[in-house]
């Protein structure tokens, strides 16, 4: 209910929203949780395992219970914490994990079964009959499990990612954080102050105490305004720090558009990578509940949350409120409530020496031993000494003490240290290099201590950065000591819940110990304690204490589990922002791209590039028809193909040839200027890395081509060799892939074509096979290479990329005039298979020069990368699978890529496996299928008939093994 | 099973009625004896399975498993739980096939529900070339006697309608479907083998770090530990992630670099992904746990590390792959990330072998694929320790293959030197 | 993670490619024999602690670096040009 005259946003507009279809009203500044409390909604969720009714427990992102789905259709967002979701007009929230409704949930039958469903019960059953796991048990379990549901629709929202850099990152904008940011900024540091809340101020917004004579929230607002006005400060509200990573890198999630109605095209969230020279962890502390019998009823909340709802939002979750605590701090809950006119029915303090701070009924040395109210708290039982009393209460504010938010400090494997005074884990220094904690995050629990600590730590940090700390006066504030005694679990009838979402209770932890899951990690994994969406923020310390007790160890001896990123859950869409659809990888387009698209060519991916598959013509029955036509065009007339995607590396210097001799298995120093040579490059492990041609453009000038896929890899490799293995070589090189547009002109009429476009014509005598040199192409300085991948008389002509589109147009027009045309990579592939030229289908990383029949290319007269290891016995054995050609015995027989090879009469099983097919095509030139493949001892088996079996495609074909060259074996056409 | 302490639905009901008081410790906590026939260093999945099969298959029970932390605390407790037999190179193919067969009877064998779920695994491909490469793999799987089905684009759509078939940067051409692939509850595998070994008399000794390996005249004599010296006739190093450090105690340098591999789990969600899906273009794989969390991972962080934690670039890359492939999971929130230490060998395949020291055995180099290998590795190593002969399906996991170049198993085709996998 | 490139200053890890232990700089002679090559290419000290390894500033200056780093904590204590190390 709403309490008149309370809250920071009194008098603001009312905001309509719906919960489970019901139209409700909150007020501006509310979280959804505050608005639900204002509307007396008690059961807002169901627990994971037993589907017990759950109400709101906390007022922050650590909320384990109040998870709802916000929005509908593709905007539907499951598992949103109602305690974080800001209210906006038209907000649509639904409860989750309940059928038919959160008030009446049939799955609550699980709770009746709970005696049989203790920790780890599923490891002990559901094993018979064997096939029932997938058929019955698992589907039933899966349907029952899970919390919210995804919409099933593709994301339509916008998410972003960004980088930020600063001198000092202050994490959390409560008392300590505001002081720390202020002090660091005044010292001249570039400061980022981030807080997950929409409004900065932390607990100062939730408490009634004063700072420097002002209400705490007003003091905070003044500091925020002051910081906002400073050029060296960036305020990042609604930004949760999610992870601490190496060298001062932090992840952070900003909720950019979650407090508005849906705004298409505007970002919903932004994932930040923040790099900070120093960080100050001012993340505060989280209050922990106490495990007493039936402590999970709606209306039972942390005491700090009760104060936050009252003081910040002006709502309270019941007409009568009781308080149960083991520490002083919780008493102010009663005072705040009474000041607001709320009936406080009891304050139950487990400490015998507790003193009342006001006019309320105090039960010192008492404990809550039971509660009533299935759908919401109605009353509680307490025991004080020998007497048991029943107290009426609709809300119970519980405090088991505070846990400093050490999570981020633990992200780099550091373990926090148990502090027996505050009964909590505190960060040790140096857990995250460059990060220090201040305020409640390191166990300073009074406001005055937090303010002073923030200022002091920031001054130290500024000094470390070489800045001069400015004098930062610390304002006066409350400075009560934090007095607490141990109280983790209260004995009594009924389950004493620890992990509210996963339904883990004290007995589960004890059962784990009984079964010898005594390690804290075993207990966690066996019971699922701490594995819910709050990652144990509310329950881990108490569970640890119960385990320690059950195993007769102290808490420090028992240890802790590890906090890992993210601190609060991060959507995949935010961390993966920008990648949806085409954004996953860059798109690289050739200069002829548009011309190919205009001609209707399907553009397909070749690494990051796009290349035309084929050029369809009206009436084509299939792609095969187009491909056949293009192959025939090249074999009989002339074809043009953009080959610019191949890597081009320009290599210059007196030792350029020496470098090439070292990176290629064969020799390049003997190559004459104006000539091109095919080169084979090995990895240091003796296997083929890449191949391609390299042209000698001048005495000290080479142009290397690589395959499209390996261009980047080869560049890295050359840098490696030049900088580390052969630093004495005087050579420089640079990638020129994008700088040149290069086109293959292939076919018997290719010379005629080039004769028409090369200035001064093409002198056949000056351009023998494997010649290269500078030419002017219609007035543009370019390069010509007489090389051939198709096996035809062919050239590649290159011009600076800006002329590529124009040249392609000209080449095509000329080709068409000669009865030729464009060809795509389907035809390119057929042409090269007919000639037995390998691609990465054959040099797939596991093949050696020996395997592809190029062992002779590995020069024995010089060292090269991979030379020594390529001589290992296992890489030179005849039994290795060697490159062969395959032709179907029956010309109609099909050959398929990825099929395996067997002796003609052998069963197609692994023990008989003799090889496999790497590349296949239908050859229009020869009128049947062709294949390249690898066959054990294949070179010695030419002429043999073998059986090709493709189980997956249902193809078995007898094939004849042959040399891997099917067409123009003597290479006359290429030279003609 | 019929033995006292056996697990069954009836027993769960009975203990429910009697307040769970009858459950006994799953394993004992014995003090180490001064002398064992066999000491296994490492109480992870592989070590525990080895101990189990030594007892079960070979009747060898004077065995201790020494674990420096807690049972199952290594990579068996921090992986993406995928179980499959879809390898294609000789050596790997037969080994993982055998391992999968052991998985298929595991619950009944161990009387422990490891929740092995054969929900089917689909490897997507995105070009004609990849289709042929996957066809080669699938045909090898069928040759081996396992199952594989080549799906075209529509076949994939029938199984995985939520993928982005229309706008993804790398369009889906099809997939290789391995129906017997799936997942299992990872911790339960460790616990099940531990319980089985313990009940057969193996001593599981936790919080016992090995500090030295005693070798005399080329023969192993035992180990030094934080709980005293232990003599043993045979010692097996089964400490993937830390193999280098332990092997160094025996004066060995291994062909291994340790790398970090991250994995991620989202908050619980109602069922959305029914298979294991693998996206090669983005190094991304995903399944949904029975609890509802989407469990997924990607590639190595790519730097040597023992930190058991990763960094943002790879984490973001994994999320990016998720968004291009299945934008319907964008609103799932990552709840937790973690990192395991991977024993990376040059060729990406493991080692189960004898060493030059008599009686000292090595089981390591599982790279990022050790979980599914747990039963097969345990079975093979137990066989090797007990008989001195390599178990046939694991016979190619030799240490000397890098020196000779014979039998390299580079499944990815990226090379057989470090930092290529 | 950030790597202090001697030429460019501290840069995000995503600008770099990684190549493993710096022992790769000590390439044996071609005739050094099986054992030497096996050791060079395969066997690694693989320390848990300080290591020297190779990083390539691929999306930066193009320099290969030898980085001194702790594999347990990811602390980076130094970086030098691999060319300088290789030439010395």
What confidence tens digit (pLDDT) does each residue in A394-441 have? 999 999 999 999 999 999 999 999 999 999 999 999 999 999 999 999
User: Are B249 and B273 members of one domain?
Assistant: no
Q: Which one of A249, A275, A724 has the shortest CB-CB distance to C83? A: A724
Asked if B418 and C21 come within 8 Å (Cβ–Cβ), the reply is yes
Please name the residues in contact with A830: beta carbons below 8 A apart, sequence gap of 6 or more. A627, A631, A921, A922, A923, A924
CB of C27 less than 8 A from some CB of B: no
With respect to residue A238, please indicate whether it lies within any of the assigned structural domains.
yes
Residues of B in contact with A875 (CB under 8 A): 405
With respect to residue A247, please indicate whether it lies within any of the assigned structural domains.
yes
Is the link from the previous residue into A129 a cis peptide, with omega within 30 of 0?
Answer: yes
User: Domain boundary residue among B344, B373, B388?
Assistant: B344
User: Are A7 and A56 members of one domain?
Assistant: yes
CB of C82 less than 8 A from some CB of A: yes
H or E stretch including A179? helix A175-186
Residues of B in contact with C17 (CB under 8 A): 302
Rounded CA gap, A196 and A86, in Å? Answer: 12
Asked if C20 and B311 come within 8 Å (Cβ–Cβ), the reply is no
- CA–CA min distance A848, chain C (Å): 17
User: Are B171 and B45 members of one domain?
Assistant: no
CB of A245 less than 8 A from some CB of C: yes
User: Domain boundary residue among A348, A371, A399?
Assistant: A399
Asked if A724 and C12 come within 8 Å (Cβ–Cβ), the reply is no
The CATH number linked to A378 is 3.50.50.60
User: Are B51 and B172 members of one domain?
Assistant: no
Asked if C30 and A868 come within 8 Å (Cβ–Cβ), the reply is yes
CB of B314 less than 8 A from some CB of A: no
CB of A586 less than 8 A from some CB of C: no
CB burial of residue C35 (10 Å; 0-12, 13-18, 19+) = exposed
pLDDT at A856 over 60: yes
User: Are B327 and B261 members of one domain?
Assistant: yes
Domains of chain C, residue spans: 2-87
What confidence tens digit (pLDDT) does each residue in A663-691 have? 999 999 999 999 999 999 999 999 999 99
Mean pLDDT of all residues in B246-269: 97
pLDDT of residue B345: 97
For chain A, what is the radius of gyration of the CA atoms? 37
User: Are A65 and A33 members of one domain?
Assistant: yes
- CA–CA min distance C61, chain B (Å): 20
Rounded CA gap, A459 and A470, in Å? Answer: 8
Largest CA distance in chain C: 40
User: Are B68 and B31 members of one domain?
Assistant: yes
Q: Which fold has domain C2-87?
A: Folate-binding fold (3.30.2270)
For chain B, what percent of residues have pLDDT higher than 70? 99
Asked if B305 and C74 come within 8 Å (Cβ–Cβ), the reply is yes
With respect to residue B415, please indicate whether it lies within any of the assigned structural domains.
no
User: Are A177 and A264 members of one domain?
Assistant: yes
Which of B139, B317, B345 should we substitute to test contact with A (largest number of A Cβ atoms within 10 Å)?
B139
Domain assignment of residue A147, given as a range = 1-152
Asked if C56 and A719 come within 8 Å (Cβ–Cβ), the reply is yes
- CA–CA min distance A321, chain B (Å): 33
Mean pLDDT of all residues in A34-58: 96
pLDDT of residue B1: 35
Pick the closest to residue A521 from C79, C21, B206 (CA basis): B206
pTM above 0.95, yes or no: yes
What confidence tens digit (pLDDT) does each residue in A785-800 have? 999 999 999 999 999 9
Pick the closest to residue B114 from B383, B394, B379, B371 (CA basis): B371
What confidence tens digit (pLDDT) does each residue in A921-973 have? 999 999 999 999 999 999 999 999 999 999 999 999 999 999 999 999 999 99
With respect to residue B112, please indicate whether it lies within any of the assigned structural domains.
no
Rounded CA gap, B309 and B305, in Å? Answer: 9
Q: Considering chain A, what is the average pLDDT of its residues?
A: 96
What confidence tens digit (pLDDT) does each residue in B376-419 have? 999 999 999 999 999 999 999 999 999 999 999 999 999 999 98
A202, A217 contact by CB (below 8 A): no
User: Domain boundary residue among A699, A722, A738?
Assistant: A738
What confidence tens digit (pLDDT) does each residue in B66-87 have? 999 999 998 999 999 999 999 9
The CATH number linked to B337 is 3.30.9.10
User: Are B172 and B243 members of one domain?
Assistant: no
A169, A276 contact by CB (below 8 A): yes
* DSSP secondary structure of A559-585: ------S-SS-EEHHHHTTT-TGGGGS
User: Are B139 and B53 members of one domain?
Assistant: no
pLDDT band at B199 (very low <50, low <70, confident <90, very high): very high
- CA–CA min distance A379, chain C (Å): 52
Asked if A521 and B115 come within 8 Å (Cβ–Cβ), the reply is no
Asked if A685 and C1 come within 8 Å (Cβ–Cβ), the reply is no
Mean pLDDT of all residues in A368-377: 96
Residues 213-252 in B contacting A (C-alpha not used; CB under 8 Å):
none
pLDDT of residue A469: 87
The ipTM assigned to this model is 0.99
CB of B396 less than 8 A from some CB of A: no
CB of B253 less than 8 A from some CB of A: no
Which of A719, A726, A732, A861 should we substitute to test contact with C (largest number of C Cβ atoms within 10 Å)?
A719
CB of C1 less than 8 A from some CB of B: yes
With respect to residue A653, please indicate whether it lies within any of the assigned structural domains.
yes
Size of interface A-B (CB pairs under 8 A): 373
User: Are A250 and A343 members of one domain?
Assistant: no
With respect to residue A190, please indicate whether it lies within any of the assigned structural domains.
yes
User: Are B42 and B173 members of one domain?
Assistant: no
User: Are A147 and A163 members of one domain?
Assistant: no
- CA–CA min distance B400, chain C (Å): 9
CB of A565 less than 8 A from some CB of C: no
Asked if A913 and B127 come within 8 Å (Cβ–Cβ), the reply is no
Rounded CA gap, A899 and A953, in Å? Answer: 9
Which of A898, A916, A920, A956 should we substitute to test contact with B (largest number of B Cβ atoms within 10 Å)?
A898
CB of B242 less than 8 A from some CB of C: yes
pLDDT of residue A976: 82
What confidence tens digit (pLDDT) does each residue in A903-927 have? 999 999 999 999 999 999 999 999 9
What confidence tens digit (pLDDT) does each residue in B204-217 have? 999 999 999 999 99
Pairing mode, strands A67-70 and A91-94: antiparallel
CB of B24 less than 8 A from some CB of A: yes
User: Are B321 and B197 members of one domain?
Assistant: no
Structure tokens of A330? 């919780």
Residues of A in contact with B91 (CB under 8 A): none
CB of B76 less than 8 A from some CB of A: no
User: Are A733 and A743 members of one domain?
Assistant: no
pLDDT band at B282 (very low <50, low <70, confident <90, very high): confident
Residues 142-201 in B contacting A (C-alpha not used; CB under 8 Å):
142-145, 148-150, 162, 164, 167-171, 185, 187-188, 191-192
What confidence tens digit (pLDDT) does each residue in A270-292 have? 999 999 999 999 999 999 999 99
With respect to residue A71, please indicate whether it lies within any of the assigned structural domains.
yes
Q: Which chains touch A (3 or more CB pairs under 8 A)?
A: B, C
User: Are B156 and B39 members of one domain?
Assistant: no
pLDDT band at A561 (very low <50, low <70, confident <90, very high): confident
**What is the 8-class DSSP label of residue B28?**
-
Structure tokens of A245? 């990573």
User: Are A801 and A711 members of one domain?
Assistant: no
- CA–CA min distance B192, chain A (Å): 9
Asked if B313 and C53 come within 8 Å (Cβ–Cβ), the reply is no
CB of A547 less than 8 A from some CB of B: no
User: Are A131 and A171 members of one domain?
Assistant: no
pLDDT of residue B2: 34
Q: Which chains touch B (3 or more CB pairs under 8 A)?
A: A, C
Rounded CA gap, B326 and B328, in Å? Answer: 5
**Total domains in the fold of chain A:** 7
- CA–CA min distance C64, chain B (Å): 15
CB of B307 less than 8 A from some CB of C: yes
Size of interface A-C (CB pairs under 8 A): 64
Residue in chain B lying closest to C2 (CA): B311
Pick the closest to residue A525 from B336, B283, B38, B13 (CA basis): B336
Mean pLDDT of all residues in B35-63: 98
What confidence tens digit (pLDDT) does each residue in B91-141 have? 999 999 999 999 999 999 999 999 999 999 999 999 999 999 999 999 999
First-last CA distance in chain B:
43
CB of B224 less than 8 A from some CB of C: no
Pairing mode, strands A915-923 and A928-936: antiparallel
User: Domain boundary residue among A152, A167, A199?
Assistant: A152
Residues of A in contact with C64 (CB under 8 A): 719-720, 723-724
Residues of A in contact with C82 (CB under 8 A): 723-724
Structure tokens of B88? 């294609």
Asked if B413 and A845 come within 8 Å (Cβ–Cβ), the reply is yes
The CATH number linked to B55 is 3.50.50.60
Asked if C30 and A719 come within 8 Å (Cβ–Cβ), the reply is no
Domain assignment of residue B131, given as a range = 117-181+257-344
User: Are B275 and B329 members of one domain?
Assistant: yes
């Amino acid at each position: 209910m709403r309490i008149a005259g309370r809250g920071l946003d009194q008098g603001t507009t009312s905001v309509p929203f719906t919960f489970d279809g019901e139209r409700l009203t909150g007020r501006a500044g509310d979280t959804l949780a505050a608005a639900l409390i204002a509307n007396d909604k008690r059961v807002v969720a169901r627990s994971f395992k037993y589907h017990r009714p759950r109400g709101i427990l906390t007022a922050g992102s650590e909320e384990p219970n109040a998870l709802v789905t916000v929005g509908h259709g593709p905007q539907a967002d499951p598992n949103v914490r109602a305690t974080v979701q800001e209210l906006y007009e038209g907000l649509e929230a639904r409860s989750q994990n309940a059928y038919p409704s959160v008030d009446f949930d049939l799955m609550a039958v699980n709770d009746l079964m709970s005696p049989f469903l203790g920790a780890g019960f599923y490891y002990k059953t559901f094993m018979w009959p064997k096939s029932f796991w997938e058929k019955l048990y698992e589907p039933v379990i899966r349907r029952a499990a899970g919390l919210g549901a995804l919409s099933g629709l593709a994301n339509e929202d916008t998410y972003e990612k960004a980088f930020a850099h600063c001198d000092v990152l202050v994490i959390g904008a409560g008392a300590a954080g505001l002081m720390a940011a202020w002090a660091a900024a005044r010292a001249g540091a570039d400061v980022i102050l981030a807080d997950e809340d929409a409004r900065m101020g932390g607990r100062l917004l939730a408490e009634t105490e004063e700072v420097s004579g002002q209400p705490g929230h007003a003091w905070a607002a003044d500091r925020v305004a002051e910081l906002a006005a400073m050029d060296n400060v960036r305020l990042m509200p609604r930004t949760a720090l999610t992870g601490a990573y190496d060298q001062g890198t932090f992840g952070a999630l900003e909720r950019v558009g979650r407090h508005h109605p849906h705004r298409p095209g505007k970002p919903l969230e932004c994932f930040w990578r923040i790099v900070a020279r120093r960080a100050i962890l001012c993340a505060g502390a989280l209050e922990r509940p106490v495990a007493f019998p039936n402590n999970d009823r709606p209306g039972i909340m942390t005491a700090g949350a009760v104060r936050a709802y009252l003081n910040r939002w002006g709502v309270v979750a019941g007409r009568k409120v009781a308080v149960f605590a083991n520490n002083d701090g919780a008493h102010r809950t009663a005072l705040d409530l009474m000041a607001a006119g709320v009936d406080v029915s009891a304050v139950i303090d487990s400490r015998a020496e507790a003193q009342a701070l006001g006019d309320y009924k105090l039960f010192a040395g008492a404990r809550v031993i039971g509660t009533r109210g299935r759908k919401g708290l109605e009353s509680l039982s307490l025991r004080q000494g020998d007497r048991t009393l029943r107290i009426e209460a609709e809300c119970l504010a519980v405090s088991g003490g505070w846990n400093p938010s050490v999570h981020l400090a633990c992200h780099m494997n550091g373990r926090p240290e148990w502090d027996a005074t505050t009964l909590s884990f505190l960060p040790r220094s140096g857990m995250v290099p460059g990060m220090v904690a201040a305020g409640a995050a390191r166990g300073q629990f009074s406001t005055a201590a937090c303010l002073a600590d923030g200022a002091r730590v920031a001054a130290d940090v500024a000094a470390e950065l070489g800045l001069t700390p400015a004098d930062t006066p610390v304002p006066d504030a409350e400075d009560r000591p934090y007095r607490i005694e141990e109280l983790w679990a209260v004995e009594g009838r009924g389950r004493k819940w620890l992990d509210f979402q996963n339904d883990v209770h004290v007995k589960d932890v004890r059962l784990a110990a009984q079964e010898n899951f005594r390690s804290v990690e075993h207990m966690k994994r066996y019971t699922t304690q701490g594995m819910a969406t709050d990652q144990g923020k509310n329950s881990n310390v108490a569970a640890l204490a119960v385990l320690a007790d059950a195993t007769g160890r102290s808490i420090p001896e028992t240890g802790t589990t590890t906090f890992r990123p993210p601190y609060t859950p991060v959507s995949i869409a935010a961390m993966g922002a920008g990648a949806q659809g085409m954004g996953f990888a860059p798109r690289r387009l050739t200069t002829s791209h548009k011309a190919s698209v205009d001609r209707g060519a399907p553009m397909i991916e070749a690494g990051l590039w796009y290349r035309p598959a084929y050029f369809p013509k009206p009436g084509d029955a299939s792609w095969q028809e187009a491909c056949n036509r293009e192959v025939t065009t090249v074999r009989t007339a002339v074809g043009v193909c953009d080959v610019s995607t191949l890597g081009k590396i320009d290599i210059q210097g007196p030792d350029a040839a020496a470098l090439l001799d070292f990176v290629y298995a064969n020799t390049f120093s003997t190559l004459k200027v104006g000539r091109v040579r095919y080169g084979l490059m090995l990895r240091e492990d003796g296997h083929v890395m890449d191949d391609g041609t390299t042209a000698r453009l001048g005495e000290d000038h080479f142009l290397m081509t690589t395959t499209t896929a390996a261009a980047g890899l080869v560049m890295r490799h050359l840098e490696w060799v030049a900088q580390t293995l052969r630093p004495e070589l005087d050579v420089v090189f640079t990638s020129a892939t994008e700088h040149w547009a290069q086109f293959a002109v292939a076919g018997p009429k290719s010379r005629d074509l080039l004769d028409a476009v090369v200035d001064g014509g093409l002198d056949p005598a000056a351009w023998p096979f494997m010649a290269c040199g500078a030419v002017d192409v219609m007035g543009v300085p370019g390069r010509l290479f007489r090389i051939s991948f198709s096996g035809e008389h062919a050239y590649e002509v290159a011009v600076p990329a800006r002329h590529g589109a124009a040249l392609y147009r000209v080449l095509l027009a000329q080709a068409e005039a000669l009865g030729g045309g464009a060809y795509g990579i389907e035809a390119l592939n057929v042409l090269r298979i007919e000639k037995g030229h390998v691609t990465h289908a054959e040099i797939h990383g596991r093949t050696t020069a020996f395997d592809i029949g190029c062992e002779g290319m590995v020069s024995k007269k010089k060292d090269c990368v991979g030379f020594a290891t390529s001589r290992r016995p296992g890489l030179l054995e005849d039994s290795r699978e060697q490159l062969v050609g395959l032709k179907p015995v029956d010309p109609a027989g099909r050959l398929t890529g990825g099929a395996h090879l067997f002796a003609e009469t052998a069963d197609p099983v692994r023990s008989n496996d003799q090889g496999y097919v790497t590349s296949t095509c239908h050859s229009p030139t020869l009128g049947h299928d062709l294949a390249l493949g690898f066959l054990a001892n294949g070179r010695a088996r030419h002429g043999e008939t073998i059986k090709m079996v493709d189980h997956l495609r249902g193809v078995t074909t007898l094939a004849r093994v042959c040399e891997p060259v099917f067409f123009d074996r003597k290479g006359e056409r290429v030279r003609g | 099973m019929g033995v006292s302490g056996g697990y069954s639905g009836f027993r769960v009901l009975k203990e429910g009625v009697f307040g769970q008081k009858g459950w006994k410790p799953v394993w004992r906590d014995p003090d180490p004896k001064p002398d064992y026939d066999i000491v296994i260093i490492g109480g992870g999945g592989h070590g525990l399975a080895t101990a189990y099969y030594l007892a079960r298959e070979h009747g060898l029970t004077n065995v201790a498993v020494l674990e420096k932390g807690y049972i199952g605390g290594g990579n068996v407790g921090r992986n993406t739980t995928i179980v499959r037999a879809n390898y294609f190179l000789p050596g790997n193919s037969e080994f993982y096939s055998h391992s999968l067969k052991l998985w298929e009877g595991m619950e009944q064998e161990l009387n422990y529900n490891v929740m092995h779920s054969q929900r089917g695994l689909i490897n997507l491909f995105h070009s004609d070339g990849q289709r042929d490469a996957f066809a080669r793999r699938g045909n090898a799987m069928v040759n081996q006697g396992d199952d594989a089905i080549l799906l075209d684009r529509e076949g994939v759509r029938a199984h995985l309608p939520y993928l982005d078939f229309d706008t993804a940067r790398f369009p889906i051409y099809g997939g290789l479907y391995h129906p017997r692939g799936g997942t299992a509850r990872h911790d339960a595998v460790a616990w099940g083998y531990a319980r089985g070994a313990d009940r057969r008399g193996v001593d599981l000794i936790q919080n016992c770090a090995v500090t030295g390996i005693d070798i005399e005249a080329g023969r192993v004599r035992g180990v030094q530990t934080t709980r005293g010296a232990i003599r043993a006739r045979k010692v097996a190093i089964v400490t993937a992630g830390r193999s280098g450090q332990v092997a160094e105690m025996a004066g060995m340098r291994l062909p291994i670099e340790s790398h970090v591999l991250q994995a991620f789990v989202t908050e619980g969600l109602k069922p959305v992904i029914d298979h294991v899906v693998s996206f090669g273009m983005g190094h991304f794989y995903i399944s949904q746990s029975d609890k509802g969390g989407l469990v997924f991972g990607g590639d190595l962080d790519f730097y040597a590390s023992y930190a058991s934690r990763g960094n943002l670039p790879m984490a973001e890359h994994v999320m990016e792959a998720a968004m291009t492939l299945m934008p319907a999971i964008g609103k799932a929130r990552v709840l937790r990330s973690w990192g395991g230490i991977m024993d990376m060998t040059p060729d990406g395949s493991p080692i189960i072998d004898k060493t030059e020291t008599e009686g000292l055995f090595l089981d390591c180099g599982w790279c990022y694929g050790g979980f599914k290998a747990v039963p097969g590795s345990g079975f093979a190593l137990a066989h090797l320790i007990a008989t001195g002969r390599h178990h046939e399906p694991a016979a190619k996991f030799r240490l000397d293959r890098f020196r000779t170049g014979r039998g390299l198993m580079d499944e990815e085709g990226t090379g057989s030197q470090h930092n290529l996998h | 993670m950030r790597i202090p490139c001697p030429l460019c200053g501290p840069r995000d890890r995503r600008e770099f490619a990684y190549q493993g232990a710096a022992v790769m700089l000590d390439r044996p002679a071609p005739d050094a024999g099986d054992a030497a090559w096996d050791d060079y290419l395969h066997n690694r000290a693989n320390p848990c602690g300080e290591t020297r390894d190779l990083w390539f500033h691929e999306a930066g200056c193009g320099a290969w670096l030898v980085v001194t780093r702790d594999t347990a904590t990811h602390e980076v204590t130094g970086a030098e040009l691999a060319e300088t190390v290789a030439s010395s």
